[in-house]
Amino acid sequence: MRRTCRTVFNAPGPNLLRCSPVFAAAVAAILSMTANISEVLADDPVEQRVNALLGQMSIEEKIGQMRQANAGYGNPPDYLGDDIRAGRVGAILNLVDVDVVNELQRIAVEESRLGIPLLVGRDVIHGFKTILPIPLGQAATWNPELVEKGARVAASEAASHGVNWTFAPMVDVTRDPRWGRIAESPGEDPFLTSAMAVAMIRGFQGDDLAAADTIAACAKHFAGYGAAESGRDYATTNIPENELRNVYLKPFKASVDAGVATFMASFSDLNGVPATGNRFLMRQILRDEWGFDGFVVSDWDSVHQLSVHGLTEGDRESAYEASTAGVDMEMAGKAYEHLHDLVADGSISTDVIDAAARNILRIKFLLGLFDDPYVDPDELPPIGSEHALQVAKQTALESIVLLRNEIGVLPLQKGKVKSIAVIGPLAEAPYEQLGTWIFDGDVSLSVTGLDGIQNLAGKDTKIRYVRAMPTSRSRADVQFEEALEAAQQSDVVVLFLGEESILSGEAHSRADINLPGAQAELVREVRKAGKPVVAVILAGRPLTLTNIVDDVDAILFAWHPGTMGGAAIAEVLFGVESPSGKLPVTFPRMVGQIPIYFAQKNTGKPPSPETTVHIDDIDPFAPQTSFGMTAFHLDAGYRPLWEFGFGLSYTSFEYRDIATSVAEIRAGETITISAELKNTGGVPASETVQLYVRDLVGNVTRPVRELKGFRKVRLDPGEATRVEFQLHTDDLAFFGRDNTLIVEPGEFHAWIGGSSDAELRVSFRVLE
C-alpha cells in the first residue's frame, strides 16, 4: 500500500518526523504563524510549499535536484544509494522494478536530510506492456479521443511499475520519412500533430496529476529536431524563425496550453546553436512568451555534447551554457557537477539554480510524491487487461490505411475464399510488429497477422504459411519457390512485408526507403501465380512503394501496429470493419522527391499537368527548353504516390454542397464552413472529413493548403449528414515578416473532403 504522511499533520513536534523530513522542514517554516498546521497545509498553494522547501535547501541539494541518474543496470541502491541520501540525485530513469523503485524512494524520503522524493522517468512512447501502434500510426486514426485512451492505458501500466514520468509525447513535425524517428512523430502537419500531442498529454496526465494512475508527460524534442538535414538523426537543422514559428513550434505551444509537465531539449543544432544551450528557445519562447512553469530536461548526455558540437570547450562551459539557457535537469550526464564551482566563482547566479530547482520541485508536488511516494501495484489495473487490449486493438484497427484496392479484392469473403497463402517475413513476427521504443513491451501478448487470419478465417479455410525470408532485410530467396507453390495452390495471397522494428526509431535513419532486402523480388515471384495479391505493410515510416504498387491488387498500410495488430489486420482483411485510417504524412514516389508535403508554398511557377513532362517523353537531342518553367522533377513529376489525408474505404463517400454561413467576417468573428457527406456504397463505414484553408495573399507567402479541422463520421449505407466546422479568425493567424502573430484581411479559399486533394471549394473574405 502507498504510504502517506497525511495522518501525522495534526501532531506537531517529534511525531512530525515520522513522515518525510521535507514536510517537517516545510511545516517548521510556518509553525510560528499558526497552531493549526493541517488547515494551513490544506489551503497552502503549491508555490508556497515549493518556496518553503527551497528555503531549507543547500546549494548542493538544489543542484542535486538537477541531476537525473541512470538506474538501468545492476542493483541501483548499491550505486545510487549514497548519492540519494546526500541529496545529489533528483530523478532516475530506466528502472521499472517497483520494489526497487520503492526502496530508492524510501532512501530518498526517509534517509536524506530533507526527504525529497524522486522522479522516475521512462520512455513510455506508445504503450508500456500493452503496446499501441507507433505514434505515426496513432496519428493515422485521426481520432484524438482514442489516442487519449491509449495514453491512459500506458500511464496506468507504467505507474504500476513505479514510473511517474514519461519522455513522451514526441511532437516533432517532420517532412522527411528517411528520419528514423518519424515513427515517434504524428507526422508532417502542425495542426494534426498538435491535436495528437494534446490527446497524449491528457491521457498520460489525466485530470489530476497526483492520481495513482497518471504520470507526468514530456513534450519533446524542443525544437526543430524533425527537420534534420537529409533525415540523418542528430544532424544539423536550419529553420528560419518564421518557418519555425509557423510550423515547428505550434505543437509545443499546444502542449504548453494543455498543461504538459515537462519539456525535453533536442539533441540537434538549431541555426548554429544546439537546442540544449539555446536561450532563444528555452527562455525567450518557452518561458517569456509562453509562460511555461514546468521544467526542462536535457536529452541523454546532451549537455556534455555541447562541446562535441563545438559550442563549448569542455563540460564546465557546457554546464554554464545549458543551465543559463534554461535546461533545468541534466539526463544521464556529469556536466552539471560543475555547477557548484560556477556558482562559487560567480559565473552563475544562485537565481539560476533556484529557478531550476523550483521548477523541478513544483512538478514533484503536483505529482503528489510528497504525500504518496510509494507505489502499490495492486491499486492499479492488471497488465494486459481486457480494456487495455481492446483499446490497443481499436487503435490498430483505425490506424490501418487502405492505399489500393483494385478489382475489389478486399474484403475477403468468408465462405468464398477456401484457401489463403500467408507469405512474408512479418506475418508471424510478434516482436517486430511492436515497433520502436518498446523496452517493456510484452511479446507474449502479441497477436500476429498469421494468428489473426487463422482465428477469423474459420476451420474450413486452408491457410498455407511460408515465411519466405528470414528477415525483412534478407537478400536470399531460399523459400521463394515454396512461396510460389503456396500461392499457386491458394485462392488469394496475403503478403506481409515492410521493415523490422530495428530499422526505424532513434539513430535508425535510412537513405533508401524502398522495401528492404529481396521483398520486391518476392512480390514479383508470387505474382507469377496469377492469383489476387494483397500486401500488408508493417513499417515505422512511409516507404517508397512505386516498385511494387502495380504488382499487387491491394495494399493495407498497417505501420507497426502493436500488441493487437494481427487481430485488427484480420478484421479489415475480412471486412468485419471497413478501413478508416488516413495518412498523416505524404508518401513520395521516390526518395528524391523528399521533402514533399501538402502544405508547400505555391512558388512563382506552380506546376500543373499541362506544364510538366516526364523524362521518358523527351525527344532525343531536344532543344534546351524549360518544359513549362514550373517546379517539378523530370523523373517524378510533382505529385506524391499518395497524398496527406488519403485513405480508401470499402464503401464510397460523396461530398457535395459546400457552403459558408456568411461571405465575410471581421477580426474576432467566426465563420461556419460545411458540406454534405453521403455514404453511397454498400457497407457502414467511418470517414475522416477534413477542412483545408488557403490565405491567398499574405505578409509572407502562405502554404497552398493548411489543415484547419477534421472530424471522423460514421455513416450507414445511403445515410447522409452535414458536417460543419467553426473557423475563428484566430485560426487564420500566422507569423508575419516581423515574427509577430497577425490576422490579415483578404480572400481565403476553403476545401472540405477526404484528403488534402479535396476538390470541393468555397471562398470567403476577412474584412479589416
Domain extent, residue 726, equals 653-767
| Least confident range of 141-150, 475-484, 673-682 | 475-484
Please report whether residue 662 resides in a domain: yes
Instruction: Let me know if residue 668 belongs to a domain.
Output: yes
CA gyration radius for the chain? 28
Average pLDDT over residues 42-65: 90
Q: So what's the pLDDT on residue 459?
A: 87
Calpha distance 215→168 (Å, rounded): 10
- The answer to whether residue 519 sits within a structural domain is no
DSSP assignment of 179-210: SGGGGGS--S-HHHHHHHHHHHHHHHH-S-TT
Sign for the CA dihedral angle at 107, 111, 117, 121 comes to: negative
Apex 297 CA angle, 295 and 300, nearest 5: 170
Report the number of distinct structural domains present in the chain: 1
> Which pLDDT score is estimated for 511?
98
Residue 114 lies in a domain: no
Q: What is the pLDDT of residues 257-286, one digit of tens each?
A: 999 999 999 999 999 999 999 999 999 999
Task: Inform me whether the pLDDT recorded for 18 exceeds 50.
Answer: no
Catalytic residue, candidates 123, 172, 176, 299: 299
Exposure string of 203-239, with b = 16+ CB inside 10 Å and e = fewer, is bbbbeebebebbbbbbbbbbbbbbbbeebbbbbbbeb
Is the pLDDT at 33 greater than 60? The verdict is no
CA end-to-end distance (rounded Å), the chain? 62
Residue 37 has pLDDT above 80, yes or no: no
Residue position matching grid coordinates 521518358: 616
Residue 621: pLDDT band with limits 50, 70, 90: confident
d(CA 195, CA 575): 29
pTM above 0.85, yes or no: yes
pLDDT over 90 at 21, yes or no: no
**Residue 648: pLDDT band with limits 50, 70, 90:** very high
Nearest to 718 by CA among 752, 682, 768: 682
Interatomic CA distance for residues 618 and 309, integer angstroms: 47
Cis omega (within 30 of 0) on the bond before 221? yes
- Asked if residues 104 and 80 have their Cβ atoms less than 8 Å apart, the reply is yes
pLDDT tens by residue, 145-168: 999 999 999 999 999 999 999 999
| Residue 424 CB coordination number (10 Å) | 31
Q: What integer pLDDT is reported at residue 45 of this predicted model?
A: 84
pLDDT over 50 (residue 118) = yes
Taking the C-alpha atoms of residue 192 and residue 639, their distance in angstroms, rounded to an integer, is 21
Q: What's the CATH number where 667 sits?
A: 2.60.40.10
Q: Is 115 left (phi over 0), alpha (psi -120 to 50) or beta?
A: left
- Sign of the CA dihedral running 101, 102, 107, 109: positive
Place of cell 535510412: 510
Question: For residue 387, what is its C-alpha cell?
Answer: 480494456
- Under a CB-based contact definition with an 8 Å cutoff, are residues 243 and 223 in contact? no
Q: What is the largest CA-CA distance in the chain?
A: 97
Cell match 563545438: residue? 310
Kindly state whether residue 388 falls inside one of the protein's structural domains.
no
According to the model, what pLDDT value does residue 1 have?
32
Burial class (CB in 10 A: 0-12, 13-18, 19+), 32: exposed
Rama region for 76: left / alpha / beta (φ>0; ψ in -120 to 50; rest): alpha
For residue range 244-255, list pLDDT tens digits in order: 999 999 999 999
Looking at the domain assignment, is residue 742 inside a domain? Answer: yes
**For residue 170, what are the β-bridge partners?**
220
pLDDT of the residue at 14: 29
pLDDT higher than threshold 70 for residue 537: yes
> Which H helix or E strand runs over 92?
strand 91-93
Is 299 a known active-site residue?
A: yes
> By percentage, how much of the chain surpasses pLDDT 70?
94
**Gap between the Cα atoms of 189 and 175, Å rounded:** 8
Peptide bond into 588 cis (omega under 30): no
pLDDT of residue 43: 53
Over residues 477-519, the pLDDT tens digits come to 779 999 999 999 999 999 999 999 999 999 999 999 999 999 9
Annotate 714-750 with b (16+ C-beta within 10 A) or e (fewer). Answer: ebeeeeeeebbbebebebbbbbbeeeeeebbeeebeb
Give the CA dihedral 220, 221, 227, 233, nearest 10 degrees: -110
Dihedral angle of Cα 382, 384, 388, 394, to the nearest 10 degrees: -170
Q: Which of 158, 558, 223 minimizes the C-alpha distance to 396? A: 558
pLDDT over 60 at 91, yes or no:
yes
Rounded average pLDDT over 41-64: 88
Report pLDDT for 371: 95
Locate 658 and state its grid cell.
459546400
How large is the average pLDDT for residues 729-733?
A: 98
pLDDT score at 22:
40
518 within some domain: no
pLDDT computed for residue 257 by the predictor: 98
Residue 44 is predicted with a pLDDT of 58
Q: Could you write out the three-class secondary structure of 637-705? A: ECCCCECCCCCECCCCEEEEEEEECCCEEECCCEEEEEEEEEECCCCCEEEEEEEEEEECCCCCCCECC
Give pLDDT tens digits for 405-427: 999 999 999 889 999 999 999 99
Over residues 422-472, the pLDDT tens digits come to: 999 999 999 999 999 999 999 999 999 999 999 999 889 999 999 999 999
User: Which element (helix H / strand E) includes 482?
Assistant: helix 480-488
Q: 715 lies in a domain? A: yes
The amino acid sitting at 176 is D
Higher pLDDT, 181 or 21: 181
Strand, helix or coil for residue 738 = coil
The string of pLDDT tens digits covering residues 555-577 is: 999 999 999 999 999 999 999 99
pLDDT at 17 over 90: no
